[in-house]
Each structure stands twice: as C-alpha cells, then as structure tokens.
C-alpha cells in the first residue's frame, strides 16, 4: 500500500509536468489543426534558459525571489520564442497542404534542438541541487518533497487559471471560436492572427514552466530531451483527446501515474513501450481520446 501511494505521488508529479507540456500541443492543435513538433524542443530550450538565469542570479537574491524571477523571465523568453516560431515556420504555411506544415514543424524542431547543442554543447547540463530546499515530508511512510508539492501546486494553479481564461474571458471565447471554425470566427470580427499568437504565447509559457520543472525535479537536462518529453506529452494530449484542454490535463495525469506504476511494479526498460501500447489500445477503442468528441465527417 505504501509503495502504491508513493508511486501515486511520484506519478502525479510527473503527470503535472506532462500535462503542462501537453497543454501547449493541444491548444495549438485545437486552433491550427497542426501537430507542433517543435513544442518539445521549445520546452528543452526553456530548461536551458532557466539554468542560465539561475546561475547568473544565484547568491544575489533570496531563494524564493530567485525562483520567482527565474520562472517569470523564462516564461517570457520562451513565449517570445513561441511567437518567433509561429511567425517563421507556421504563418507562411497557413494556406498550404497540412502535411507541409508538419514538415516545417519537424524542421523547426531540428533547428531548435541543434541550436541548443551548438550553444550549450552536446553534454548534459546539471541543475544546482539546492534551488528548492531539499525537505521531505513524511506522511505515514509516504514521502513527499517540497519540490513535488511545488510542482503540484503551481501546475494546479496554472491549469485552473487557463481553464478560467479560456472559458470566462473574451479572448478565451475567441480562441474557442477559432478552434471550431476559423472562417466563421473571422466573419464575426475576431482577429484570428491575434488569437493564434496568443495560443502560442500561452502554450510556450506553460511549456517553459514544464521545462523548468523537468530541470529542477530531474536535474539533468540534455539538448535532445525535447523529443522524449515532447512525445510523452503529445501522447498525453492524444489520450485525453487532442484539442481538448481538460483532456490534456487528464491525459497528462493518467500518463504520469501509468508511467510511475510501470516503473515501480514492472520494469523501467519496458515503460516507454507500454506507454505506447496504452496509446494504441486507446486509439483502437476510442479513436478521439477519452474526452474527445466524436465528430461526424462533413461532406
């Protein structure tokens, strides 16, 4: 029972990170119907940017302020990266066949990944150990660290904020309108370009939080980790139903817990394969994901 609860806590932590990254995939897919393959690499980039900021400011500021400033500045820089990505790689292809945009996304992913390698080198970088004080709370044999609490709380706050933004604000409504029918949205006077840029800004900023969590929680970061985390997060988005925001959150959590249990009970060398077996089974029996709606084919 204790192993079960311990793995549940670990799984929820990883799951919230996946969910944060998955939101970036799902939002872009919802609005543009495009798999943003470069998102994972943007997340990796944010982990490196966060590390640079941390190292520059370490010792100057108090720990709480340091973390706050690192998070905010990394989110801003990554959001700018998202805007540049959209401008350079996706906007010129808005009217092109869909697969061309996929190739452009793959190209952008290669650019970011190899850009990171050229700047910071191919060797892994290590986050400093004491960014978040290493405090463990013992809840009747189940250990939960301060870092895990931080990940869970911040992710939860961000997800609730995103949910409120999408459902309660004017821009969020415009975003949902664009997801349903871009042309109709444009006819209603919605600035579709502005909505798409907003989507990329929010997605990249959430991804940046995910990237920082990966750095602080796992500590080791590599230039090509964007592929692995990106793919996992993408699977999470698909499992939940791509294009669906609560779906991405649910999918991320489920995938995190699933991964943790596989690693805890079976073997970690099969964990990735089993993740995809789960994905394939869900695709066979529920082709649009758990929360995805079944859409009738338009003729």
Partner 1 sequence: MMNTKNALYYGIFFLVLTVLPFFLTSNWISVMTTFLIYSVVSLSQDIVLGRAGMFDMGHAIFFGLGAYSTAILNMVYGWPIVATIPVAIILPIIASILLAAPIIHLRGDYLLVTTIGFNIVFTQALKNNVFGITGGPNGIFGVEPLKIFSITFASQKSIYFLALFILLLTLAIIHNLETSKPGRALHYLNLDSLASECIGINTRFYRLYAFALSAAIAGLAGVVFTLQFSAVSPGAFNFIQSVLFFTIVLVGGPSSIPGVLLGTFFMFVVPEMFRQFAEARYLVFGVAMILIMIWRPKGIWPVKFGRIPNYITKE
**Ranges within 1-30 binding partner 1 (CB under 8 A):** 29
Return the SS3 of 142: strand
**Ranges within 81-140 binding partner 1 (CB under 8 A):** 88-89, 92-93, 96-104, 106-115, 117-118
Q: Which residue from 48, 213, 234, 261 is in contact with partner 1, where contact means CB under 8 A?
A: 234
**CA 256 – CA 277 distance, rounded (Å):** 15
Q: Which is nearer to partner 1, 12 or 89 (CB)?
A: 89
Q: Which is nearer to partner 1, 4 or 270 (CB)?
A: 270
Helix axis angle, 225-240 to 39-57, nearest 10°: 120
Considering only CA atoms, give the Rg of the chain.
Answer: 19
Q: Which residue from 55, 139, 188, 277 is in contact with partner 1, where contact means CB under 8 A?
A: 277
Q: Which is nearer to partner 1, 67 or 85 (CB)?
A: 85
Beta carbons of 6 and 252 less than 8 angstroms apart: no
Cβ of residue 268: shortest distance to partner 1, in angstroms? Answer: 11
Cβ of residue 215: shortest distance to partner 1, in angstroms? Answer: 23
Buried residues in 154-171 as b, exposed as e (16+ CB within 10 A): bbeebbeebeeebeeeee
Residue with tokens 């959430």: 206
Residue with tokens 């029996």: 285
287 sits near partner 1 (criterion: CB under 8 A): yes
Specify burial of residue 102 (Cβ count, 10 A radius: 0-12, 13-18, 19+).
middle
Q: Which is nearer to partner 1, 4 or 276 (CB)?
A: 276
If you count them, how many residues does the chain have? 299
Q: Which is nearer to partner 1, 97 or 133 (CB)?
A: 97
Q: Which is nearer to partner 1, 66 or 283 (CB)?
A: 283
272 sits near partner 1 (criterion: CB under 8 A): yes
Phi-psi category of residue 141: left, alpha or beta, with phi > 0 → left and psi -120 to 50 → alpha: left
Binding site for partner 1 (CB under 8 A): 29, 35, 88-89, 92-93, 96-104, 106-115, 117-118, 227, 231, 234-235, 238, 242, 269-270, 272-273, 276-277, 279-280, 283-284, 287-288, 297, 299
């Amino acid at each position: 029972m204790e192993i079960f609860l311990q793995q549940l806590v670990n799984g929820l932590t990883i799951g919230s990170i996946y969910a944060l990254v998955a939101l970036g995939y799902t939002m872009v897919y919802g609005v543009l119907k495009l798999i943003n393959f470069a998102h994972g690499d943007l997340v990796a980039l944010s982990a490196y940017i966060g590390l640079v900021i941390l190292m520059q400011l370490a010792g100057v500021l108090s720990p709480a302020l340091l973390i706050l400033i690192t998070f905010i500045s990394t989110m801003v820089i990554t959001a700018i990266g998202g805007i540049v990505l959209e401008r350079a790689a996706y906007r010129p292809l808005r009217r092109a066949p869909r697969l061309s945009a996929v190739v452009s996304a793959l190209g952008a992913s290669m650019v970011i990944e190899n850009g990171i390698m050229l700047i910071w080198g191919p060797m892994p970088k290590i986050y400093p150990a004491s960014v978040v004080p290493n405090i463990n709370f013992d809840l009747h044999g189940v250990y939960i660290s301060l870092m895990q609490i931080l990940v869970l709380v911040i992710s939860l706050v961000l997800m609730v904020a995103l949910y409120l933004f999408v459902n309660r604000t004017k821009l969020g409504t415009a975003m949902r309108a664009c997801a349903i029918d871009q042309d109709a949205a444009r006819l209603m006077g919605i600035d579709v370009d502005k909505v798409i840029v907003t989507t990329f800004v929010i997605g990249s900023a959430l991804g940046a939080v995910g990237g920082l969590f990966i750095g602080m929680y796992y500590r080791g970061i590599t230039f090509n980790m964007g592929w692995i985390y990106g793919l996992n997060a993408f699977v999470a988005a698909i499992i939940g139903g791509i294009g669906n925001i609560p779906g991405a959150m649910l999918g991320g959590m489920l995938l995190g817990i699933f991964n943790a249990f596989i690693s805890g009970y079976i073997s970690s060398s099969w964990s990735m394969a089993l993740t995809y077996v789960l994905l394939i089974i869900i695709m066979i029996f529920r082709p649009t994901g758990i929360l995805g709606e079944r859409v009738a084919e338009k003729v």
